[in-house]
Structures are given as C-alpha cells and as structure tokens.
Structure 1
C-alpha cells in the first residue's frame, strides 16, 4: 500500500478542528466495518459487530463481537462478548464468552475470556486468563451436598466405561478369530 493511497479516518471528530483527536465512543447497534486500506483511531461502541480489515490504532472498543480478518491490524483495548482474531492484535482483550485465534493470527498483550480456541500456526506473545462461566466456580468450589453419592456415580461411570472398553476389546478378538477361521475354511474349500 502506497502512503498516498492510505486513508486515515477518525470518526466522530469535527472536520473544523486543526488536530485530529481520538474519537469519543459512540453507542450504536449497527455493525462497524473498517475496510482494507483504511486507518482509524479512537473509541467505538456498538451492540453489533466490529469488523477490522484495515488498521485501528489506539482503539477503545466495546462491541458484541469482534472480527479481525487476516489483513486486519488492531491495537488497543477491547471489551466484547466474542472475538475471532485472524490478523494482528496487540493490546488488552476482555471477552465475556469465547476467543478464537486462527492460524494466521499474531497476537500480543493480554487476553481474558471464558473459552479459548487456538488454531495451530497462530503466533502468540501474550498472557491468557480463562475465567469460568458464572456459577461454575461456585459449583466446583462448594462441597457436594449429596456427599459420597456423587463420587459413587462417577466411580460407577468409569466402571461402566471400563466394561465397555473391555467388551469392545473382547469383541475385536472374537472378530479376528472368526475372520481367521473363515479364511482357513475358505482355503480348505478351495484346495
């Protein structure tokens, strides 16, 4: 991209101002799309989706969903419900649900989420914190009100699973013996 082709857009700032200042966050429910060859800076707030195909610097983003495409570059602080990163992300990302890091992603900074999916090939130089869903941490930390019954149920499950594996193995052995016997019988018939 040539420097003369680069578009620099700072939303929500009056064109009469001599200096470009960071934009003030504005609440909307529409999707915000930063197209290729576009450079933005500032705050964005939407109940919709933020799609970054260009470059966003010094961002302060609040959205329902964030998508940074493989050609996108985002630097700043982001608070979203769900994020999918395929391009470059640098900064702080707080997701209320899931963060998906695609193979083409390069991320650095800090990520806090409930669920994390990292695809092979992604380059990561950041810290991750996966916090449990509301209610999960209290259920895991609280002693079981049913006492040993829950432990016995888990123990029975594993016994059942072990039995299934055992019988599957036995069935495989019998199938192999049956196949060998059939081959021997076929050989005797054909000779």
Structure 2
C-alpha cells in the first residue's frame, strides 16, 4: 500500500485549491492502479491548523493536532502539495507549514506540485517559487506541475490532460518506471494517397 499525503492550503471551503488536490489524487490513483498498486491518501487541510502554525512559529513547539498532521506528512511515501498563488508566490500558510517541519524530513520524498490562482499570469509561480522550495528541502519533485487559473475550471482547455500527464509522471517516479517515452514519428505514417487527396 502506497501512502500519499495531500497538503492543501486553500483558505475557503470549498476551495479550488482543494478541488485541484482531489483531482490530482484521483488521477494518481488511476495511474498507480495500472501497476497494480493500491494507494491510501491522507488529506491535510492547512486552514484547519492556521492558529496552531502561528503558535508553533512563536513558541517553537507544535500543538498535538499539528504534530499529528506533520507526522502523517513526513511518514508518507509521497506528497501532493497544492497552494493558492498570492502576489506571484505560494501562500504564507503553505510556507509556514513547511517552515515548521523538522529539517531533512522530506529528503528524497517524491512530490507532485499544484497551484491555483485568479489568472494565468501567476502560472510560473510554481516553477520560480514552489519548485525551489522543495529543492531546498531535498524532495524529488515530479517533472510536470499543474497550475489551474480561474478560467481553467469548467472549460475544455486541457486541464484534465495536464492533470493526467502530471499524475502519470508522479506514478512513474513512485514506481521507478522510466518517465521518458519517446514516440517514433514514423509509427503511424499518413498514407501517400491520403496526403495527395488533401491537396
């Protein structure tokens, strides 16, 4: 059984951040099912621990519930981490949670990154803010991250495709399968007659 922690830093209920986290988890479960692996998800909603996180910063000691949530994350086999993007970076709540974890507690852990925001202008925040954070923590981030802007929800603009691709790469990272799949452009050639007929 693969245990995956899902950390989501959405501030509202319901939130698009939690929705993206749920969809990434579901796609990961489908991708791992193709390898015969079962998965158990442990959801950590950071908004439920906001006061405890602030107290932890001030006192240096986590409350019992925050300690339990932190333990579930660091003892998991992998992590899906999703944050809303505010002012071109992850939320303070998201950063605070990873600030209070013990040093090196995420070393070597596979991580799938996701983020939500109001506009597509914030999409690079995943690469210039979130990925460096997890590199500093020595985690192994999956190659593809998923950013979902407001206009991505309910539209047929490739969000499902991006989620499936990211989840497949994440599953490959978890199972040790090679993620590089080179497609031969000559596998399925268009017949010459068809090319002529199109002119």
Give the alignment's TM-score, normalised by structure 2.
0.30
**Normalising to structure 1: TM-score of the pair?**
0.31
Higher relative contact order (CA 8 A, sep 6+): 2
**Structure label with greater radius of gyration:** 1
